[in-house]
Amino acid sequence: MTTPQDIIRPDVLAMTSYPVPDATGFVKLDAMENPYTLPAALAAQLGEHLAGVALNRYPAPRPEALMAKLKAAMHVPPGCDVLLGNGSDEIISMITMACAKPGAKVLAPVPGFVMYAMSAKFAQVEFVGVPLKADFTLDCEAMLAAVAEHQPAVIWLAYPNNPTGTLFADADIERIIEAADAAGGLVVIDEAYQPFAQASWMPRAGAFDNVVVMRTMSKLGLAGIRLGYLAGRTAWLNEFDKVRPPYNVNVLTQAAADFLLDHIDVLDAQAAQLRADRAQLAADVAKLPGAEVFESAGNFLLVRVPDASAVFDTLLTARVLIKNVSKMHPLLANCVRLTVGTPDENARLLAALKLVLK
């Protein structure tokens, strides 16, 4: 009898699936989603727009009108093209796959977004993690040494970083770009949380030979439609496009994005509200006994507490779902990550935290 163990790669057999807990009935503050829905009138207009979509037809593989609108709305610089993905996760996978020569390596600061390492493992590419400093800033000298030693094909730099919320110094990033160029490597600047950072490398996406900028519509309030995009010089994007599944962005996603890009002001206003709410939540959590709140440029806060497991379990009992990141990396010992929610959700979060931080 043939079993999966006879066929599947041993390293895949040893893996576990990406965990996504059931959030039914919880205040969901574990996945950095925008908690605000569309205004009712706009949602109704979107519904009418989607009703006219031809579900019987395959989606356009390169929807030129949507891509042009996206470039205009997101201020992609002249001379740069965009590549669409089923969320930025798929773009990470495409880049890794395209660069997976025998012996190739990819490199990123750690702790960082888990999909950089996971995609490397799937593509059988070595992942090199370079620890951040204790304050979660970039250890530029260690990064430069790692680039020189490992000659990585790809360097991932999240701007700001997840789960720390850190916005790495531009001068450090410039030094890494220069070192990567000398080593023959590509630097991918991941701006998933750009709506909350108010800082961006997008204006410089075409200014370097070895830089592309990756973003997603998810954190802007459209996590459900799964649309990511990569901006950079056409020479890079043409190659990554070769490993893109031919119909990777479905017709409903394309239609929803096309419609909502005409109403980007609504999503921008929500992001502004969340930035203000982040500041208030950070101040409130910092007042709690034993809580150390790290500065964040994302829509979440990294908080060190005396006992991360006790905090997580207490909040779970209170029906508030957060992320216990304390086991992800030694630098994150006793850290939890809190998504910024609505004022009511933040109030419930604070009330639950007061039950255990006292």
pLDDT of residue 160: 97
Same domain (yes/no): 140, 79: yes
Does residue 295 have a pLDDT over 90? yes
Q: What are phi and psi of 316, to 5 degrees?
A: -60, -40
Q: Are 195 and 219 in contact (CB under 8 A)?
A: yes
275-294 mean pLDDT: 98
Same domain (yes/no): 194, 298: no
- Domain extent, residue 32, equals 4-40+265-356
Arithmetic mean of pLDDT over the chain: 96
Assess if residue 48 is contained within a domain.
Answer: no
Total domains in the chain come to 2
DSSP class of 135: T
**What is the tens place of the pLDDT at every residue in 21-30?**
888 899 999 9
Three-state secondary structure call for residue 69: helix
Torsional sign, CA 280, 275, 89, 248 = positive
Mutual orientation of helices 170-183 and 140-150 as an angle, nearest 10°?
A: 10
pLDDT of residue 19: 80
pTM of the full structure: 0.95
Torsional sign, CA 343, 325, 107, 7 = negative
**What is the tens place of the pLDDT at every residue in 119-144?**
999 999 999 999 999 999 999 999 99
Same domain (yes/no): 127, 195: yes
User: What percent of the chain shows pLDDT beyond 90?
Assistant: 96
Among 14-18, 164-168, 211-215, 347-351, the range scoring the smallest mean pLDDT is 14-18
Does residue 312 have a pLDDT over 90? yes
Mutual orientation of helices 343-356 and 308-317 as an angle, nearest 10°?
A: 120
